[in-house]
Structure 1
């Protein structure tokens, strides 16, 4: 339960609204909440319901947990969506009639959920993706001729967005089925870039099973099959696979192989010159830096100095996708807690939450670090306790 008073919640809503340069009237209209309710909530006279809070947060383009600590509306929406997603993909290889949306409407909707995934907006994905995936499956079966490749690309992207919530919220069996659907779609695109992106995502299956050596072998096969890095998209696709392989090699405690893959990733990152999003995967020099930290943490406590050195030299820019920035600070917090830098670890977790609240809340390493920090009482123990309750570390 939230420890925030109505006045604290109202002040946060007011501050965010002003930062967005919205009047109370415009916020009320866009959120479909009455003007009287908006006024009452902002002055602390009313505690908004979950539905009202989420409607306001959607207009302000933030997660509701940034307005009220301990808000669990996202979890409810995700867990409500998971059974529907499971039903939608059952028998995906069987034609089920025409979609309700046109190809252009599906393309636009998939682009939106991809943006939400990169921004770690899991609650919004949960509301939209079951129906979107149903239509994408139907479109893949009914599209003909030149439209067929585009239709299966849409399906692969929709399945990946659905997998984001399944994997993050621990539904690993459903996640594996969604990745099988993604592979089915990728094979039908005939596009090696889509197949490379699918191999990148499929690593989740091996991570969940802790089958790191097999996962590394799969990634190295995907790198060999990827097209030559002669353009920015092909360089980004191959570079992303090298980044992923470096992290998995770290989980195998194979620092030499991890460093080889990082070296390739750096070279390809320099080649693309700036961050790009290729088929839903961010890649560029900044993403490589994030993975340098991830590799050091994956290698374990003996490499904590290496992890801290990466963070001393560089911090992620606000332009990097929110989920990736949040992951950087969560892994940094883990290294800092190992090094006994507990105050720094707590600050890093707060930075992760500021970047992507839903991602931080569901990350097992964020809870692990908080468990460690709660063993030590500090001057701001109340703040620490509030965060621990929020992240589920109690």
Structure 2
């Protein structure tokens, strides 16, 4: 039977009370702060209360619903669920002591679980309907611009952390809302809304791509490129080209992907601002992967050298919704070594290094999946299992649907 969640309580008590100076934040204050954040970021009411927080701290619930975990991480300034003492159960659901199948509460029962077929089908159906109305505004009210900005920031963060349940729950509604907003906006406001719409389409594509809806992914990417072009924002247009490479990867047209990415990088130029440098570098970073998969190691090396040169002048961070920096480049170097069947290079790249926390959870998780693949190929099953466990802790929903992770898990289980 699991014990108390000391980590969550410690994190809460480190935060100051809003009502009693010098005192720690109470459970009720934490619940209210989470509800406020979820309202601002999603436009939906939540009803977390101090009693439920107490159950979390007692360890009665080991894996709260995805939207509550997101709110708790934000309020308590945590990067991962593990920092708050939350760990997924074998089924990936909430867990009440004495009843592993019981949901946490009425909100958990209603929350989508994208690893089940039925909720994914419902999300995909809803998304298809939204996409067909991409040029038709709704009559529903639209939140103020600042609240829409916060909602899109949340969606980008959820995508980067592989929080597919949250994306499935909120993205279709947000696309409808942003679509409506663009029709009543003019000038710079409309351009900004188109940037936000492009980012939200990208979040929708994250689920379509990860769950194998190849044709739907291509449709979403087309609309993302349309929104990016309508925004007139060069970095967003570059981001759209970065994502467009998925359509070529899905059909094994790797050289076409490399040429498209190279053209996009040349059109964008490296610029003088860090964001321009970063998007330019990210395009070359992805072109390196395309070249490696096309079996062109020299071209892959040339593109990665270009990306590495840029990364020396750009801190690890998010640029137009894309992670880039020295850590991201090194992670891609490991991927390239595996794609080129160079096990020695793969192990050398990974030796004694861990990705910094400034790299988003999904990309760090991908690094550990690749590290596990390398360890497995090197005949080190224990190390491979350890690396997979780290990947699962960082981004459990990512590992659950990752084809190579599933294949490797099966191979290790068969030993």
State the Cα RMSD in Å.
2.6
* Structure 1 segment 323-362 matched on structure 2, within 5 A: 323-362=362-401
Q: 1:267 aligns with which of 283, 306, 309?
A: 309
**Structure 1 range deviating more: 324-333 or 307-316:** 307-316
Question: 1:68 matched to which residue of 2?
Answer: 89
Q: 2:406 aligns with which of 340, 344, 367?
A: 367
Return closer, same or farther for 1:14/1:140 CA change in 2, 3 Å cut-off. same
Question: 1:207 matched to which residue of 2?
Answer: 249
Q: 1:229 aligns with which of 271, 282, 288?
A: 271
Question: 1:175 matched to which residue of 2?
Answer: 217
> How far 1:177 moved relative to its partner?
1.3
Q: 2:5 aligns with which of 14, 17, 42?
A: 14
> How far 1:121 moved relative to its partner?
1.7
Q: 1:78, 1:122 within 8 Å by CA — same for their partners in 2?
A: no
* Structure 1 segment 287-302 matched on structure 2, within 5 A: 287-300=328-341
Cα distance in 2 for partners of 1:113, 1:187 equals 21
Q: 1:17, 1:60 within 8 Å by CA — same for their partners in 2?
A: no
**Structure 1 range deviating more: 100-109 or 196-205:** 100-109
Q: 1:32, 1:55 within 8 Å by CA — same for their partners in 2?
A: no
More helix as a share of residues: 1
**Structure 1 range deviating more: 85-94 or 255-264:** 85-94
Return closer, same or farther for 1:74/1:147 CA change in 2, 3 Å cut-off. same
> How far 1:248 moved relative to its partner?
1.1
Structure 2 length-normalised TM? 0.79
Cα distance in 2 for partners of 1:38, 1:112 equals 22
> How far 1:146 moved relative to its partner?
2.7
CA deviations on 1:350-374 (whole Å, 9 max, x unpaired) are: 1111211111111111111112212
**1:88 matched to 2:130:** yes
> How far 1:206 moved relative to its partner?
1.5
Gaps of 5+ in 1: 1-6, 377-394
Question: 1:249 matched to which residue of 2?
Answer: 291
Return closer, same or farther for 1:39/1:138 CA change in 2, 3 Å cut-off. closer
> How far 1:91 moved relative to its partner?
3.4
> How far 1:97 moved relative to its partner?
5.2
Between the two proteins, the alignment pairs up a number of residues equal to 361
Question: 2:104 matched to which residue of 1?
Answer: none
Structure 1 length-normalised TM? 0.83
* Structure 1 segment 130-145 matched on structure 2, within 5 A: 130-145=172-187
Cα distance in 1 for partners of 2:303, 2:188 equals 37
CA deviations on 1:161-194 (whole Å, 9 max, x unpaired) are: 1111221222222211111110111111122211
Return closer, same or farther for 1:346/1:39 CA change in 2, 3 Å cut-off. same
> How far 1:33 moved relative to its partner?
5.6
Q: 2:137, 2:176 within 8 Å by CA — same for their partners in 1?
A: no
Q: 2:8, 2:57 within 8 Å by CA — same for their partners in 1?
A: no
> How far 1:37 moved relative to its partner?
6.3
> How far 1:35 moved relative to its partner?
5.9
Cα distance in 2 for partners of 1:338, 1:220 equals 32
Q: 2:9, 2:57 within 8 Å by CA — same for their partners in 1?
A: no
Cα distance in 2 for partners of 1:104, 1:55 equals 20
* DSSP 3-state at the match of 1:66: coil
* DSSP 3-state at the match of 1:68: coil
Cα distance in 2 for partners of 1:83, 1:243 equals 34
> How far 1:95 moved relative to its partner?
4.6
Cα distance in 1 for partners of 2:405, 2:126 equals 29
Q: 2:254, 2:294 within 8 Å by CA — same for their partners in 1?
A: yes
Q: 2:358 aligns with which of 299, 312, 319?
A: 319
CA deviations on 1:141-168 (whole Å, 9 max, x unpaired) are: 3221232211211111111111112212
Q: 1:192, 1:227 within 8 Å by CA — same for their partners in 2?
A: no
Return closer, same or farther for 1:194/1:36 CA change in 2, 3 Å cut-off. closer
Q: 2:344 aligns with which of 305, 318, 332?
A: 305
